[in-house]
């Protein structure tokens, strides 16, 4: 039997520290480091690609770039501290920084979700109204959408974190606040429902838009196919391939988002009404599932495109440092 461990030895009201062997600690830290590296480097590559190559300066890629910045910040400023908290099962960075870290964490995750919604709306408009899309959805409009996706979550988190209502609630629940070495903010039922809506509604929005995009794309392909009588079998083969690829891409985008976020959001509602009954290990796992979404976004919105594979080749061969590399046409076969 191992003696009871505490986050802060010889300190009153210290949290109990979960015992882990050195091997378990090493494996957990390696896993966390790999997640951080993958999140940061993956999103950094998207940032470099869209920023450097002028052919990529489109409205959709402006949103993709802004999304990558938010996800990269999660990897740089949130995950290192969350890793220590998860592996050591203690928070060693002080109460004030816990408040700041939790607020920034919520803000950046919300920013990421808002960008995913904007990208889905951008693609929906591009498919549904392709003639007016270039004039209506410009780079300036994309910048405004990206700015709104940063500002709205920032205001929401500021009100959530620093409003007097939250302060009073925390004072009321002072005896129930977590022990020393924990980093858990009090969440009221009202905020639980708001968080549920602000994360759950985007999932249905993206699901509806992507399903609509898929069916419209299929209808357009059928129209083109009916107008072209020659090379029917070849054309049908290529159409079938494009449809399958579109279905797989959209399914992965929706599936990963739902898989990463829905368990966390549902747990938030449960905790808001049942006084945080979720065990710490499960809560921590659900928290990390939302971080995984930031690591997956570069795959969904960058790595699936042929131009991104060309960018990787240009970067890793050093051609990006050559004069005029920003003018390379990445769409040229």
* Residue-number span of the structural domain to which 37 is assigned: 5-327
Report residue 98 as tokens.
């816990």
Judged against a pLDDT cut of 70, whether residue 169 lies above it is answered with no
Of 110-114, 177-181, 315-319, the poorest mean pLDDT is in 177-181
CB atoms within 10 A of CB 323: 6
Between CA 32 and CA 84 the distance in angstroms is 9
Per-residue model confidence as pLDDT tens digits over 52-66: 999 889 898 899 899
Give domain status of residue 332, yes or no.
no
> What is the CATH classification number for the domain harbouring 9?
1.20.1070.10
Task: Give the mean pLDDT of the chain.
Answer: 79
In contact, 63 and 146? CB cutoff 8 Å: yes
Closest CA to 186 of 166, 164, 162: 166
Angle at Cα 293 formed by Cα 122 and Cα 308, nearest 5°? 60
Q: Residue 333 falls within a domain, yes or no? A: no
Classify residue 226: in a domain, yes or no: yes
Whole-number Å distance between alpha carbons of 145 and 11? 49
Query: What is the mean predicted confidence (pLDDT) over 93-107?
Result: 86
Domain membership of residue 281 (yes or no) is yes
For residue 82, the model assigns a pLDDT of 93
Per-residue confidence (pLDDT) for residue 78, from 0 to 100: 94
Q: How confident is the model at residue 308 (pLDDT cuts 50, 70, 90)?
A: confident
pLDDT at 237: 47
pLDDT over 70 at 175, yes or no: no
- Does 185 fall in a domain? yes
Q: 83, 101 in Cβ contact below 8 A?
A: no
Question: In whole angstroms, how large is the CA radius of gyration of the chain?
Answer: 23
Q: What percent of the chain has a predicted confidence (pLDDT) above 70?
A: 77
Q: How much is the pLDDT for 42?
A: 92
Number of domains in the chain: 1
Flag whether pLDDT at 72 surpasses 50: yes
Residues 267-285, mean pLDDT to the nearest whole number = 76
State what percent of residues in the chain have pLDDT above 90: 23
Determine the Cα–Cα distance for residues 134 and 220; give it in Å rounded to an integer.
Answer: 18
């Amino acid at each position: 039997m191992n003696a009871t461990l505490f986050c802060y030895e010889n300190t009153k009201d210290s949290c109990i520290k979960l015992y882990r062997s050195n091997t378990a600690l090493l494996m957990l830290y390696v896993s966390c480091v790999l997640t951080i590296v993958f999140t940061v480097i993956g999103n950094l590559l998207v940032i470099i690609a869209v920023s450097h190559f002028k052919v990529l300066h489109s409205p959709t890629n402006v949103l993709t770039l802004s999304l990558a910045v938010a996800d990269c910040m999660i990897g740089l400023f949130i995950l290192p501290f969350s890793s220590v908290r998860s592996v050591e099962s203690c928070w060693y960075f002080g109460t004030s920084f816990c408040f700041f870290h939790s607020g920034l964490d919520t803000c950046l995750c919300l920013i990421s979700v808002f960008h995913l919604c904007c990208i889905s709306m951008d693609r929906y408009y591009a498919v549904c109204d392709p003639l007016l899309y270039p004039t209506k959805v410009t780079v300036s409009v994309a910048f405004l959408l990206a700015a709104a996706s940063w500002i709205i979550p920032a205001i929401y988190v500021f009100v959530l974190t620093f409003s007097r209502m939250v302060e009073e609630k925390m004072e009321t629940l002072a005896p129930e606040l977590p022990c020393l070495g924990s980093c858990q903010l009090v969440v009221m039922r009202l905020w639980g429902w708001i968080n549920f809506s602000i994360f759950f509604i985007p999932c249905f929005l993206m699901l509806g838009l992507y399903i609509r995009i898929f069916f419209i794309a299929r209808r357009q392909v059928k129209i083109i196919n009916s107008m072209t009588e020659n090379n029917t079998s070849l054309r049908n083969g290529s159409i079938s391939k494009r449809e399958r690829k579109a279905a797989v891409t959209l399914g992965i985008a929706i599936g990963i988002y739902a898989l990463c976020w829905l368990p966390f959001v549902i747990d938030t509602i449960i905790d808001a009404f049942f006084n945080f009954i979720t065990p710490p290990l499960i809560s921590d796992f659900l928290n990390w599932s939302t971080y995984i979404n930031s690591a997956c976004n570069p795959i969904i919105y960058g790595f699936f495109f042929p131009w991104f594979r060309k960018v990787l080749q240009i970067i890793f061969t050093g051609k990006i440092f050559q004069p005029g590399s920003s003018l390379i046409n990445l769409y040229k076969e």
